[in-house]
Every structure is written in C-alpha cells, then in structure tokens.
Amino acid sequence: MHPGSTSTSWLVAGAIAAAALVAVLAIVYLRALPSATLVEDDASVLTADQSERISEFHEFLLRDHGIDYRVFTTREPGDINIAAVEKFAVLAGSMRSDSGRALLLVINVDQDLVRMEVSHSLEPVYTDAFTKYVETRQMVPFFQTGRVADGILATTELIVAEAQDAERLNSLDDNEHAAKSGGGGATSTALIGKEGARTRKRQADVSPGNSPAETLQRYLAAMAERNGAPDLSLYTPATRTMLAGWTITPAQMDMVVKSYRECTAEPARVEGRLAVIRFPVGQRGCAPFFFNQSASGWQLDLTMMQRAIRFGRSNAWRMDLSVRHPYEFAFSDWSYDQHGFPRAK
C-alpha cells in the first residue's frame, strides 16, 4: 500500500485500521533454516530485493505454521492450471513441510493469469472459494498498479491470518503427508499494470463524529461497506494526503471489520483536542486508534498511527519505542517490553 516499500503493505492494513493484519511481518534472516528456492522469477517481474523479501516472509510462514509456500513467475504458453499442477509435482520433492502443507503461486505474465495451487492437506483450510477471494480481492488490486511483489506479500498476509484461525480451531492437519496437489485452488485474471481495467464508482463521503467513539463506529461501518476512498472527511487532512498514494483492497477492509469485531474498545482517553481509543493488552490483534478534534468533529489520525505502531508476524501490535508522539498520555498506565509490546503495570 505504501509506494516503494513492500514491507509496509502489511503495515497499511494496520495503519489504515490499526488492524491485526497486514499486518507487518518482522523482517529478520532465518539463517538456521535450510536453503530453498522459494521464488523462481522466470518472467523477471521482481527485483532481487523483492524476491528476497518474499522468501523471508515465506520462511516465517514455514516456521510458524508449517506451510511451504513457493512463487513461480513465467511467460510460457499453455494452460496455467496444468502448468501449476506439473510445477507443483516437480517441487514436491524439495518441499520442507512434514505435514505436506504446501502452496504454489503461479503468475503467467504474458497470459495475464494467476493461479494458486493448494496441497491436499491444506484444501480444507484454503478452499477454492478462499483462494479465489484472495486473488481477486487482495492480490489483483496491487497487480493493477504494477506492484507485483506487494500483491504477493499482501496475499501472504491473508494466508497467515487464515492459518491462525485454523490453528485456533484445530482444523490444520498435523499428520505427515507428502506434498501433493489434486488441482485444488483457483485461477484469476491478473490485470498486471491495468489500473483502469475495472470501473471504480465514486464512494460516499463519511463525516467525523461528535466523539472519538462515534468516529470509530463510522470508520468501521465504512470498512464494512468497502468504502476505501482516501479522502473521507473523517480522516485528518494529513491522513488524506497519505492515503492518496496507497492501495486499499476489499480484502484488507474485510479483515479490519473481522479483527475489530472480536475486540472490546475501552472508553476514549482525551487530552485537549487529542484522543485515543485503545483495547485491553490481552487483545493484541487490535491496535489503538488516534483522533484529532477539528471544527467538524473528531477525525482519525492514521499518520501518527503509521509512525508509532508496528505489527509482528503473529499480527500482534507493538509500539515503536523510538518514536515520540503526542498521544503518549493515553498509555501512562502501561509499560512495554524491550520489543514494544504493551503490558499493564
């Protein structure tokens, strides 16, 4: 979502809604893991740095959830569905998931198609309907602006969230299986670089509320309606400027609604024209919201949220302790560990 930076595609989901998503994965090198080619960019649509970043994210997916996720770009002719099954079979011998949990994303640039292939052991979690959803509602909006790497990483965000839900429900198969695919998954038109390919209707404005809680309610209602307009009146002017250059996908807005539906907001903490609505420290998937009072009401300040809040790969938010901000008054009864994760004093 943030131009020029693939890592902030996860932050946007958090910054836009301070949501569990996105979302920023902590980036470190997992040198202890055996090496593997997680990204094969035969179509040359990724830079070396982008391929490395995607590989790092997917190493985390393997370590945290046992899912071996490969990416393959190509320009070869032929049926992409058949090509994906064949490529999956070739890669099966090098898959590193003992439970056979494997995903393969195939992007055919010349055909302008994308296909996600799903192994047998993951089909109950990543259904055909789900893979179609993440392709069309998360990946393709980034591809339309030519940001292929960001689209891949944004999709990984949803894959991680779905894996977390499956683990909570004990619906991930932990038995040992070979990494095999029977054709599960979905294929979609990629629309790479075709930003004008879909008509975008003008979305209704949303005004700020007379209280921080009312503004938050209106914001979440806008997300539920998939109103991703960057110039909503409930945003501060600086936030509108910031969002003008971001990609806000339907899937990200859906994730915001889903995440905050499960959390309990505390009463707003107000000091002068500034306010914060936060959530109990135990609800780490729900980051606090910052507000600034204007003549028209309490506006949502996402710019300071973007600067001060970070997300780990487990979708838990933390405070960037190196950033000072005027909303610190709302957290005087909390302390932080060395990584910035909050805890009650």
Does the model's pTM come out above 0.85? Answer: no
Tokens of 92: 């099966």
Determine the average pLDDT of the residues in 43-65: 91
Instruction: State how beta strands 102-108 and 68-74 pair.
Output: parallel
pLDDT-derived band of residue 198, with 50, 70 and 90 as boundaries?
low
Tokens of 203: 């979305």
CB 252 within 8 A of CB 18: no
Q: Does residue 172 have a pLDDT over 90?
A: no
Choose the weakest-confidence range: 49-53, 95-99, 332-336: 95-99
Q: What pLDDT is stored for residue 175 in this prediction? A: 67
Q: What pLDDT is stored for residue 13 in this prediction? A: 39
SS3 291: strand
Q: Does residue 319 have a pLDDT over 70?
A: yes
User: Domains in the chain, start-ordered, CATH in brackets?
Assistant: 33-196 (3.10.310.50), 212-344 (3.10.450)
Extract long-range pairs of 304-309: CB within 8 Å, 24+ residues apart. 305/14, 305/15, 305/18, 306/11, 306/15, 306/242, 309/14, 309/15, 309/18
Residue for token digits 């509602």? 137
**Between residues 142 and 173, which one has the greater pLDDT?**
142
Q: What share of the chain in percent tops pLDDT 70?
A: 86
What residue spans of the chain are helical by DSSP H?
8-17, 48-65, 80-92, 128-134, 140-144, 148-168, 212-224, 237-243, 250-261, 302-308
